[in-house]
Chains A and B, each alone.
Chain A
Amino acid sequence: MISSSPSTSSPWSIDLLLRCWQRLAAAVAGGVLLLLVAYLIAESLPALMRIGPLALLTDPSWHPLEGSFALLPMVMASVGIALLAMALALPLGLAIALFLTVYAGRRLRAIYVAMLELLAGIPSVILGFWGLVALVPVIARWQAPGTSLLAAALVLALMITPTIALLSHLVLRQAAQTHALTTAALALSHYAHIFRVVLPVAMPALASTALLALGRALGETMVVLMVAGNVVQFPASLTTPVRSLTANIALEMAYARQEHRSALFVSGLVLLLVAGGLYFLIARLQRGDKEQAPVESAA
């Protein structure tokens, strides 16, 4: 590293090449995103112009072929399913990560991590299928028809728990290792080690992990399509069948024409806005936390 370094002398160096490549990659990634948003907006415009953004909120129901385009129930359903799934998966995933980091022995940890990786790798269509044939009938015995917000949130929670656990484990392990000597020297208890040192240090990275999981839950289509029931209505209770924005697109896009098709693109646009809004909100909360928190930060 110190000896032969042409990059410091020549302007046409490997550094420059690397920089160009990185900039190109960044530009392509950003450009694709912009193009995508532009395309979404362009395809949504006919519906937005003809139906009007207000009608999307106030129409009594979603019957595109009869000229009725209510999107609000689906927005509520999407957010409701994702938040409930997060509420179930986050404590579970964090507990698993803490167990792996602090309590589990080396052998057990290796087996457990392999198991979680396997679970994280299961395609969502298989989880959805399992939900439909195994979980939904159980809920149906209690409250027909079984396909519901609860069913979707449960299967989604199962889907994102391994992701949260694995990513949190990485984050926590680093935090624990960094401060292992200090806590040992101070003879801190397990409790103090976890709650006073490891968790506060890892908090910002944990929040990013949660954000990633939330994005996955909001965007998941197959699971929700199969077990949520897909009836367009406000989620009045846990066992109400509901339709998410993603399921709406998947259900109807293949057969939709003209305004109906355009209205489905509006679904996609709204989903993007909802996801963006949630990210923004959480990012703000995170920043607020950091300003209040003690000076310590994760390296």
Chain B
Amino acid sequence: MKRTAKRSLICLLPLTLALVACNRPAPPQEKLTITGSSTIAPLLVEIAQRYELQHPQLKIDVQSGGSARGIADTRQGNAHIGTVSRSPQADEQDLHWYGLARDGVGIIVNTANPVVSLSTRQIVDIYTGKLTDWAAITGKSAAISVVNKAEGRSTLEVFLRFFALRNSDIHAHVIIGDNQQGIKTVAGNAGAIGYVSIGSAEVAIKDGAAIKLLPVNGIDATIGNVANGSFPIARTLHLITTDTVDEQAQRFISYCLSASVHDLIESQYFVPVVH
């Protein structure tokens, strides 16, 4: 939402100048409207910017407002394309769903922590404040610092849904904004536990951050396992359309699903879906 606003402001300036300068007719403009998930919006803004460079006559307007809005707008024809950051439900089969990327959330602890795996039950107990010391799990006493995400973040949403928790059930000691802050917090505190996008954690571990990713239900938290669908705390980010798709929109979707945007998807710590 913020980015669109900034972009429209930047667009407004030359527009005003053009109006002031003369009445020359502007080149014919086609517009593509995309609305939906706030998780996907930043990624789509990046993709749209690259696409617009190659198609100067096209203007792509990316708006967020939640997955529900993406579905409603697409059905009512207010948007050419919708974005939804979850899987299709039974009554949504009338729409076409295109998997754009996957988003996996991994549990991280400090490398000084001897713990090698945690059960779902243990993670729930830690996050709800029933378990406050690592002694019960590792035999070595150390206070647990629970690192949680700020309200509204998509990683928090995925985490809460998987563990069937409400945010008010969680007893947090530190609340963080983005993944980097989470990684720095856990790396600096031997008793901390947190969760971040798996992509960002893998990059940090490669760069030598003092954190490790824990397996969930015995499945290792890796980009590969997120891509092949075996890692459980994950979801697919979708683009959706109705049956009657405008040709321009169809071309843009093909571009989004092509390998030429994989670098953008990875830069947002998502995992590209290979078609």
Contact = CB atoms under 8 A, between A and B. Distances in A.
Nearest to A62: B151
A291 interface: no
Give the contact-size bracket for chain A.
20 to 34
A6 B73 CA distance: 68
30 contacts: A65-B151, A66-B167, A66-B168, A133-B187, A133-B188, A140-B145, A140-B188, A140-B190, A140-B191, A144-B145, A144-B173, A144-B189, A145-B189, A145-B191, A147-B173, A226-B181, A229-B174, A229-B175, A230-B174, A230-B177, A231-B173, A251-B150, A251-B175, A251-B177, A252-B151, A255-B38, A255-B153, A256-B152, A257-B38, A260-B151
B166 interface: yes
A225 interface: yes
B179 interface: no
Contacts, number: 94
Contacts of A63: 151, 167-168
Among B147, B153, B174, B184, the most chain A Cβ lie within 10 Å of the Cβ of B174
A63 B151 CA distance: 7
Given A64-B151, A145-B145, A132 B168 contact: no
A230 B175 contact: yes
A256 B64 CA distance: 11
Interface of A: 61-66, 68, 129, 132-133, 136-137, 140, 144-147, 225-226, 229-232, 241, 243, 250-252, 254-257, 260
B192 interface: yes
Contacts of B150: 230, 251-252, 255
Contacts of B147: 145
Contacts of B151: 62-65, 252, 255, 260
A133 B184 contact: yes
A59 B191 CA distance: 31
Contact of A252 (B65, B152, B174, B192): B152
Contacts of A257: 38, 65-66, 152
Given A145-B145, A145-B189, A257-B152, 14 more contacts: A61-B168, A133-B188, A137-B188, A144-B143, A144-B173, A145-B173, A146-B188, A146-B189, A225-B177, A230-B174, A230-B175, A255-B152, A256-B152, A260-B151
